[in-house]
Structure 1
Amino acid sequence: MCFSNMYFGLQTGWISMMSLQSSLLGFALFKPFQSILQVKFSPVENVVLQTVAVATATMPLAAGFVGIIPALALLNKSDHPEGAIVLSFQQLVLWSLGVAFFGVFFAVPLRKQTIIREKLRFPSGTATAQMISLLHQQPDPTMTSTSSSTTIMTLRQRHKKHLQLNNDNDDDQQPLLSLTSDPSVHSSSSSSSYGSQGDLPNHLDSTNFEEAWHLKLKALLISFSMSSLYTLLSYFFPIITNLPIFNWLCFNLVDFRAWDWYFAPSLSYVGQGIIMGLPTTLSMLLGCIVGWGILSPMAYYSGWATGPVDDWKTGSKGWILWVSLGVMISESIISLAIVTIRTITRSIARSSLDTKATTETSTVQQEDDIETVFQEGEEEDDEYEDAPADQQVSKWTTIIGLIVSTLLCIYLVRHVFGPDILPVSLTLLAVVVAMFLSVLAVRALGETDLNPVSGIGKISQVIFAGILPGSIAANLIAGGIAEAGAQQAGDLMQDLKTGHLLHASPKAQFYGQLIGSLFSVFTASGAYLLYRNVYTIPGPEFPVPTAQVWLDMSRLVNGQPLPPHVSEFVIGFAIVFGIFVIIQETSTMHQRSIGWQRYIPQGMAFSIGMYNPPSFTLARVIGGLMTYYWYQYCEKHDDDDDDDTWWLDPRYRYKVGKVLIIIIGSGFVLGEGTFALVNMIMHACHVPHL
């Protein structure tokens, strides 16, 4: 998975957290050996496995291998007196060790507030918990959690109810039991005790489960094989990676390929689109059309970007990159500002409510009998259900680990880059900035499922441009430190949400994250070195667009001028998408009906569609459409069935359901990511091809 993310990150700048894929593969690997394992491979073990896998898989982004490392290699004499900074394998390992751990310690104190008290959604972590429960034939943990939580009324809620319904205590308690009596909700002993496995749903038996798992495994193997075959064929027949279908459609009357409009039928990007979903891929498509279909020709024919289209410096590709950068910065800053304001507002409201509840406690206690008061005390303790103390990371471990990892970062950054580029004091400041920005990133991730690591890095770049003006190399390094902290903290928080829903030990996940990060330091460094030695980076196969984004941002904040007439478009698009973010966030905050607001494009996806060539975006849109239509098909009533799916075994719909399309998407992504290594070996060995 680390190699897969390195491959896709160097191509498009996009990587996957791989939590769903690692959960699925982990179960597939251990299921055949369940009968001979001394300890059963339960959901708890699956959670810890995917925590280690995620830490390993995301290191290409966390350590900057798809961003700042190639950006440092693109520096010229005007950017840095010594020119490009190309790190050796040893330096890559030391740099990765320096940024791999402090973000993990950032996340530990945030868990109690965001997951336990506020119960933020963390959608990807929740989806992973549902996937693991489905694989292990367990009840949906979100349903179990809901059922459990609705039977417990907090002291504050009961005080409020008591004031509203003075003499109606029986009616006040009745709704609390309504969900537990609902036969559609499967209660489980796991809702009250960490580490227990819960009861199996009544409607599932071992025969149906084995049949459903066989269908899932078959779908995974078929999709993996198809993607692997395409990847191998793409080496021997490179033409299939760049099909000029738009030229064919217009009978070559317009040379669309000259404007980078061609189609790459890569199943891995179809798989990414499946996982992203239709709304995100449509936003990417809009960015692609606006950037590559409108702004690119406009910039060229207006004389603003007269170089070759795919040239980063003088071509329209580099010109529209600035527009996408403006959208990313606007969305990141405004989203983080809204999250900050919302956090402060909620803290003030919660403090006021706690004060009010405290003043009303004596009145309630006088009117309730002793037994009721005792129960309320127990309910208040149970309001924030958490793991036992021996399964939590101690405060001393967190404090000592944070100090040690910070000192390690300072020492290794100085050792790798020398004392002149980024002084010790500024390296420490970069870690502190990373810590504060990580808090905002985690909150944004918990509420929106978007970890704005790119925006976090750019905010850090702006800060350090004011502190250390003119030093582009230092600016990149400081931004990389901030991005690493936000990425590591976000990864662990998503995993901790999964573990909380499935009652896994937070301490085990914490150490699993450290183990995965340590292992990936060497894996990711070796993978990057292999790609750099075999291919030209940046080059035709791996354009590394994220590195150019980092470098352009660093040059901008350090005073270098923008290309002609691009500033007007940057400001215009930034304002428009800033308004979009405000509309989306405020409507969510007030829980209003979505309506037309669902059609507002997502800024980050829009910008990715703008700086990635159209071929990557078009394949992703196909994946998004596949997800949409499969969900529609699964939701159809039996009497609506027709013969348009005669080619599909109906068991996939009834036995596997909506999760099938995610399994297929995962197989597509893993297939190309894995066999890209085979292609790299053949390329290094100069195996002949067309």
Structure 2
Amino acid sequence: MSAQGPVIVRQLRRHARHSADKLDGGHQEFTFRVAFFGLLIGCLLCFTNLYFGLQTGWISMMSLQSALIGYLLSKFFPTPMSPQENVVLQTIAVATGTMPLAAGFVGILPALGLLDEERDGVPPLHLSWLGAVGWSCAVAFFGVFLSPPIRKQVIIQEQLAFPSGTATAQLISVLHRIPPPDTVVRQRHGYRELETEEPQSIPTAELVAEHVGAVDVEEPEVVVQEGWGALIWSFGASGAMTLAAYFFPVVFSIPLFGNYLASEWLWTFTPSLSYIGQGIIMGFPTTLSMNLGMLVGWAILSPVAKHAGWAPGPVGDMTTGARGWILWVSLAIMCSDSLVSLVPVVAEIAHKKLWRGAIKLGDIDAEPTEQEEKEVETADRLVPTRWVIWGLAGSIVGGTLLVWLVFGNEGIKPWATLIGFVMGGLLSVLGVRALGETDLNPVSGLGKISQLFFAWIQPGNIVANIIAGGVAEAGAQQAGDLMQDLKTGHLIHASPRAQFFGQLIGSCLSIIVTTTAYTLYNRAYEIPGPSFPAPTAYVWLGLARLLRDGELPNKSGEFMLAFAVLFGAVAAFKAYAQRRGLRHVKWIPSGVAFAIGFLNTPSFSLARLIGGIVEHVYYTRVGRERGGIRLIIIASGFVLGEGVVSIVALVLRTWGIGVASCWGCGHDMCGGCPA
């Protein structure tokens, strides 16, 4: 590096600090009001994600929605909220709201509760409240301390797109009337300038438009005036429908094609506004992939497996029924899609030597490295390297100790947990890279990689297999979610250190909130059960049993192989199309979404398809420039309405207040009604 290097770096940092001061007026970014409202929104998201995660296995970061709701709430502040404060607020909300998936409450813990002593050699494991808190603490902070060094590589050095984070930054810039962030990706694919080569990925502007529309034509006053109204009525409508479904369960279990297909083949319809809202947020291409999977799984493979005698039990039985049979095909699709999607990422990492500009472990004020030359934040706004080192060491050692205290030597050996954390760190890099390129974090496939590895180093131990997969998935999930927020902060000139503090306090509170909510749900409902089937729990347990026993349901292996090859080819073509920037790439089916259509009964997928169609028709007719974010506000209200009011239903169930009428539930598919 030339002698002028440090001088140039200091000038860039002073310029960045000056720009940030102009944007936020020199205000503090991590403030009490930001922390309070970020935690408040995050707690609502936490309950919402736990509710929907246990129902369908799907959760959402809701970063864009958190920023929007935070902006609306800021109108009650005595002084305006700065754009940087909004970034920190939504960072706290995301860290709080995504813990149900990061700590395995929608998959890992229900899977441990499904263990069978006769078949698995160990009785079901139901953690106490304190045990669940210990497990959550073990995995809640590893990804947080992992995110600062990964940020330096993928956001500062390579400037990956992170479409959701970029979309959130665009929205915040519009709401707060600041210049739009510079989203031009100058360093991609080997750190070459894009001006000198053909684009190899979808332009960021297109990806942003797919998320939030052309928000630059909306005035903030319009957002506030119309936003509150749209949010309140959509929240109220969804909440009212949720309460109606609690007292009259048939509202959410309509026998769309008659009682016979509903009771025997599980074909019902759930006209939930929240699922429609999820479909709007997910978009038409994703919901279309999900419903294609639903049709193949439930209208073709399920009847074939039943009538051929491959799945002789009741259709809904996860062991001998068609639902359990198509689960294996779903697992093959998810693994194939995720692993093939990671191949380009792994190849690029190997070629460019990801950590060749390794982080210095010494004084942070030392002469900048080549990687740090691109860093425009001052040292007082960055997370010091020593914090990262001590934090990673503490989270790994402390996490290993906590897992040992919760599960004991018979559950998983401490050395195996330690290896799980190491694998989690390596897999997190892959997941974050894939997320930055494609906006998809393949955590399901990454967790399965860990399960495969642990089936080799600790064979026959189902509990260890599931726990190790959960540790790896937690790191990848959390690091990926936080990286989207750090991308938003980078574009809006928010302090990475303030975001880091927000991530820590959000994770801390979410441990208590998520554990308490899960404990209450476990007491009031059977999990997995009719109301909360927890479909991903069967995926975790099914793969662990397969790796131990090597036994598959009759004829399922052939279908698994065929669908794995098919969707491996589809994933490869989609990855190629994305890197070449081909048109209509979004219409290539998503293997993960297709597989989710197998996991969930048709009722969930159909409602989401309605939302996807609404999103497509609305923006096609109105246009993204005129459509803006109104539809997103309504969809957010739909999702939050059912998630929050479900807390009321949980309290009613805990107090022994049951349904008012089971009229229309002759198909025995209504949650809450006696079979």
Q: TM-score, structure 2 length as denominator?
A: 0.83
Q: Does 1:8 align with 2:52?
A: yes
Change over 3 Å in CA distance of 1:246–1:43 after alignment to 2: same
Superposition deviation, residue 492 in structure 1: 1.2
Question: Which of 647, 653, 657 pairs up with 1:677?
Answer: 647
- Alignment deviations for residues 291-343 of structure 1 (CA, whole Å, 9 cap, x no partner): 00000000000000111111100110000000000000101111112211133
Question: Which of 571, 594, 598 pairs up with 2:583?
Answer: 594
Change over 3 Å in CA distance of 1:157–1:136 after alignment to 2: closer
Superposition deviation, residue 67 in structure 1: 0.6
Unaligned runs of 5+ in 1: 162-199, 352-379, 637-652
2:46–2:96 CA contact under 8 A, matched in 1: yes
Structure of greater Rg: 1
2:129–2:515 CA contact under 8 A, matched in 1: yes
- Alignment deviations for residues 343-364 of structure 1 (CA, whole Å, 9 cap, x no partner): 333559x99xxxxxxxxxxxxx
Match of 1:236 in 2: 247
Match of 2:70 in 1: 26
Change over 3 Å in CA distance of 1:577–1:404 after alignment to 2: same
Match of 2:573 in 1: 583
Aligned-partner SS, 1:308: coil
Aligned-partner SS, 1:311: coil
Q: Does 1:213 align with 2:258?
A: no
RMSD over aligned Cα, in angstroms? 2.6
Q: Partner amino acid for 1:668?
A: F
Superposition deviation, residue 159 in structure 1: 13
Match of 1:361 in 2: none
Q: Does 1:87 align with 2:127?
A: yes
Aligned-partner SS, 1:216: helix
Match of 2:178 in 1: 138
CA distance in 2, matches of 1:485, 1:243: 39
Superposition deviation, residue 158 in structure 1: 13
Q: Partner amino acid for 2:222?
A: E
1:287–1:608 CA contact under 8 A, matched in 2: yes
Question: Which of 271, 279, 292 pairs up with 1:265?
Answer: 271
Change over 3 Å in CA distance of 1:472–1:680 after alignment to 2: same
Aligned-partner SS, 1:630: helix
Aligned-partner SS, 1:538: coil
Q: Does 1:667 align with 2:643?
A: no
Superposition deviation, residue 211 in structure 1: 3.4
Question: Which of 233, 236, 241 pairs up with 1:222?
Answer: 233
Match of 2:431 in 1: 441
Change over 3 Å in CA distance of 1:322–1:635 after alignment to 2: same
Question: Which of 42, 53, 57 pairs up with 2:93?
Answer: 53
1:103–1:484 CA contact under 8 A, matched in 2: yes
CA distance in 1, matches of 2:467, 2:192: 48
Q: Does 1:281 align with 2:287?
A: yes
Unaligned runs of 5+ in 2: 1-44, 198-214, 358-369, 662-675
Change over 3 Å in CA distance of 1:475–1:209 after alignment to 2: closer
CA distance in 2, matches of 1:608, 1:117: 35
2:63–2:90 CA contact under 8 A, matched in 1: yes
Q: Quick check: 599-608 or 337-346, which moved more?
A: 337-346
Match of 1:195 in 2: none
CA distance in 2, matches of 1:295, 1:49: 46
- Alignment deviations for residues 197-224 of structure 1 (CA, whole Å, 9 cap, x no partner): xxx99x88xxx54234201221111111
CA distance in 2, matches of 1:12, 1:280: 15
Superposition deviation, residue 478 in structure 1: 0.4
1:80–1:473 CA contact under 8 A, matched in 2: no
Match of 2:552 in 1: 562
Question: Which of 73, 84, 93 pairs up with 2:113?
Answer: 73
- Give runs of aligned pairs for residues 272-421 of structure 1, distance below 5 A: 272-346=278-352, 384-421=374-411
Q: Partner amino acid for 1:687?
A: I
CA distance in 1, matches of 2:591, 2:532: 24
Q: Partner amino acid for 1:242?
A: S
- Alignment deviations for residues 158-190 of structure 1 (CA, whole Å, 9 cap, x no partner): 9989xxxxxxxxxxxxxxxxxxxxxxxxxxxxx
Match of 1:117 in 2: 157
Superposition deviation, residue 25 in structure 1: 1.7
2:46–2:513 CA contact under 8 A, matched in 1: yes
Change over 3 Å in CA distance of 1:156–1:659 after alignment to 2: closer
CA distance in 1, matches of 2:410, 2:193: 58
1:492–1:510 CA contact under 8 A, matched in 2: no
CA distance in 2, matches of 1:332, 1:434: 16
Q: Partner amino acid for 1:626?
A: V
Superposition deviation, residue 472 in structure 1: 0.2
- Alignment deviations for residues 526-571 of structure 1 (CA, whole Å, 9 cap, x no partner): 0100000011111110011010110001101112411000000000
2:166–2:183 CA contact under 8 A, matched in 1: no
- Alignment deviations for residues 204-257 of structure 1 (CA, whole Å, 9 cap, x no partner): 8xxx5423420122111111111011001111111111111222xxxx7x6355
Match of 2:6 in 1: none
Change over 3 Å in CA distance of 1:586–1:212 after alignment to 2: closer
Change over 3 Å in CA distance of 1:209–1:122 after alignment to 2: closer
1:324–1:610 CA contact under 8 A, matched in 2: yes
CA distance in 2, matches of 1:285, 1:82: 37
CA distance in 2, matches of 1:454, 1:600: 20
Change over 3 Å in CA distance of 1:436–1:158 after alignment to 2: closer
Q: Partner amino acid for 1:121?
A: A
Q: TM-score, structure 1 length as denominator?
A: 0.81
Q: Does 1:505 align with 2:495?
A: yes
2:153–2:371 CA contact under 8 A, matched in 1: no
CA distance in 2, matches of 1:304, 1:157: 56
- Alignment deviations for residues 10-63 of structure 1 (CA, whole Å, 9 cap, x no partner): 001101112122112212222122xx23xx411100111111111110100011
Question: Which of 578, 594, 606 pairs up with 1:618?
Answer: 606
Aligned-partner SS, 1:326: helix
Change over 3 Å in CA distance of 1:156–1:625 after alignment to 2: closer
Superposition deviation, residue 281 in structure 1: 0.3
Q: Does 1:630 align with 2:630?
A: no
CA distance in 1, matches of 2:433, 2:311: 40
CA distance in 1, matches of 2:599, 2:328: 9
Aligned-partner SS, 1:284: helix
Question: Post-superposition, which runs of at least 4 consecutive aligned residues in structure 1 deviate over 4 A?
Answer: 155-161, 380-383
Change over 3 Å in CA distance of 1:525–1:382 after alignment to 2: closer
2:72–2:224 CA contact under 8 A, matched in 1: no
Paired residues in the alignment total 585
Change over 3 Å in CA distance of 1:140–1:630 after alignment to 2: farther
Q: Partner amino acid for 1:286?
A: L
Superposition deviation, residue 454 in structure 1: 1.1
Change over 3 Å in CA distance of 1:245–1:156 after alignment to 2: closer
- Give runs of aligned pairs for residues 178-217 of structure 1, distance below 5 A: 209-217=220-228
Superposition deviation, residue 79 in structure 1: 4.9
Q: Partner amino acid for 1:301?
A: H
2:315–2:323 CA contact under 8 A, matched in 1: yes
Change over 3 Å in CA distance of 1:439–1:534 after alignment to 2: same
Change over 3 Å in CA distance of 1:111–1:303 after alignment to 2: same
CA distance in 2, matches of 1:272, 1:217: 19
Superposition deviation, residue 456 in structure 1: 1.0
- Give runs of aligned pairs for residues 150-165 of structure 1, distance below 5 A: none
Q: Partner amino acid for 1:231?
A: T
2:381–2:497 CA contact under 8 A, matched in 1: yes
2:254–2:270 CA contact under 8 A, matched in 1: yes
CA distance in 2, matches of 1:70, 1:500: 37
CA distance in 2, matches of 1:381, 1:412: 36
CA distance in 1, matches of 2:270, 2:553: 30
